């Protein structure tokens, strides 16, 4: 079955760019009508959707983060990536990647990666 | 943007109890709602999608209902492994979560 795994630095300095990659295994990132999303969760808080990408390259971003977010896909590596610029301590969170299924009956995220903690600190 | 609220935000229950969590949307969303279970230190796990469709492998004690603006997640007989936080989700929005704790 499809599995997702996040990777990237666990510590980023304020004002720098957070960069994470999600590697998809057990299936091709290009197969099926799926979107690929990033979601984050600050410690002790709820879930916040960051954005999604389709394998065609089309993207949607959370309006509150749009000016700082870029999501890209590399189908040859079966990966998609997140870049979040000008980070502050408020961007400290566990970052998850997830596959999103978008159907006429609804949309849902499954499966999810295990999550990776990114701390913004000098 | 559609806002999702959940009630209660916290509930204390015993093994064997029937538990119901409500999710309300700020405008009608048909059956466009999913439910997730999250345990500490773990990623959320999909339980139900399209408001009432049980994800493969999820125990049948979990059920979902509703359409429009009001939805419910019901656990018919709470098991020890069900103590967790539950979130509803629609497109780009997640509810704030309901923590189910042991009484």
Residue B74 has pLDDT above 90, yes or no: yes
Q: Do A46 and B94 touch (CB under 8 A)?
A: yes
The mean pLDDT value for B63-82 works out to 97
Taking CB atoms and an 8 Å cutoff, what residues of chain B touch A6?
none
Residue B103 has pLDDT above 90, yes or no: no
Which residues 42-61 on chain B approach chain A with CB closer than 8 angstroms? 42-46, 49-51, 53, 55
Separation in Å, CA of B18 to nearest CA in chain A: 24
In 3D space, the residue among B21, B29, B23, B22 whose CA is nearest the CA of residue B2 turns out to be B29
The mean pLDDT value for B26-46 works out to 97
Report residue A62: phi and psi, to 5°. -60, 125
The first and second tokens of residue A34, run together, are 């799926």
pLDDT of residue B13: 96
Separation in Å, CA of A79 to nearest CA in chain B: 19
The mean pLDDT value for B51-64 works out to 97
Q: For residues A9 and A74, what is the distance between their CA atoms, to the nearest angstrom?
A: 19
pLDDT of residue A31: 86
Tell whether the torsion through CA atoms of B94, B92, A35 and A61 is positive or negative: negative
Mean pLDDT by 10 residues, chain A (122 residues): 97 98 96 93 97 94 97 96 98 98 92 98 96
pLDDT of residue A33: 85
Number of neighbours of residue B15 by Cβ within 10 angstroms:
12
Taking CB atoms and an 8 Å cutoff, what residues of chain A touch B90?
106-107
Q: What is the DSSP string of chain A?
A: --EEEEES-SEE-TTS-EEEEEEEESS-TTSSSEEEEEEEE-TTS--EEEEEEETTS-EEE-TTTGGGEEEEEETTTTEEEEEE-S--GGG-EEEEEEEEEEETTEEEEEEE---EEEEE--
Separation in Å, CA of B98 to nearest CA in chain A: 10
Q: How confident is the model at residue B102 (pLDDT cuts 50, 70, 90)?
A: confident
pLDDT digits (tens, 9 = 90+) for A21-40: 999 999 999 988 899 999 99
| A103 close contact with B: CB closer than 8 A | yes
| B88 close contact with A: CB closer than 8 A | no
Q: How confident is the model at residue B91 (pLDDT cuts 50, 70, 90)?
A: very high
Mutate which of A38, A43, A96, A110 to disrupt the B interface (most B C-beta within 10 Å)?
A110
Mutate which of A60, A107, A111, A116 to disrupt the B interface (most B C-beta within 10 Å)?
A107
């Amino acid at each position: 079955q499809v599995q997702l795994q996040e990777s990237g630095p666990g510590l980023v300095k304020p004002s720098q760019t957070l960069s994470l990659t999600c590697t998809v295994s057990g299936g091709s990132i290009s197969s099926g009508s799926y979107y690929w999303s990033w979601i984050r969760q600050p410690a002790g808080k709820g879930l916040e959707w960051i954005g999604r990408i389709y394998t065609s390259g089309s993207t949607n971003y959370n309006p509150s983060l749009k000016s700082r977010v870029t999501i890209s896909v590399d189908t040859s590596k079966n990966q998609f990536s997140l870049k979040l610029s000008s980070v502050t301590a408020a961007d400290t969170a566990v970052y998850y990647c997830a596959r999103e299924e978008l159907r006429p009956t609804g949309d849902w995220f499954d499966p999810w990666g295990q999550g990776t903690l990114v701390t913004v600190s000098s | 943007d559609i806002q999702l609220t959940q009630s209660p935000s916290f509930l204390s229950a015993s093994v064997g109890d029937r538990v119901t969590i409500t999710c309300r949307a700020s405008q009608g969303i048909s059956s466009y709602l999913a439910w997730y279970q999250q345990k500490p230190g773990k990623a959320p796990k999909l339980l139900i999608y399209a408001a009432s469709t049980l994800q493969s492998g999820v125990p049948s004690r979990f059920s979902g209902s509703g359409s429009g603006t009001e939805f419910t997640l019901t656990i018919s007989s709470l098991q020890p492994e069900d103590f967790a936080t539950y979130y509803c989700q629609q497109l780009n929005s997640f509810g704030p979560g309901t923590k189910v704790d042991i009484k």
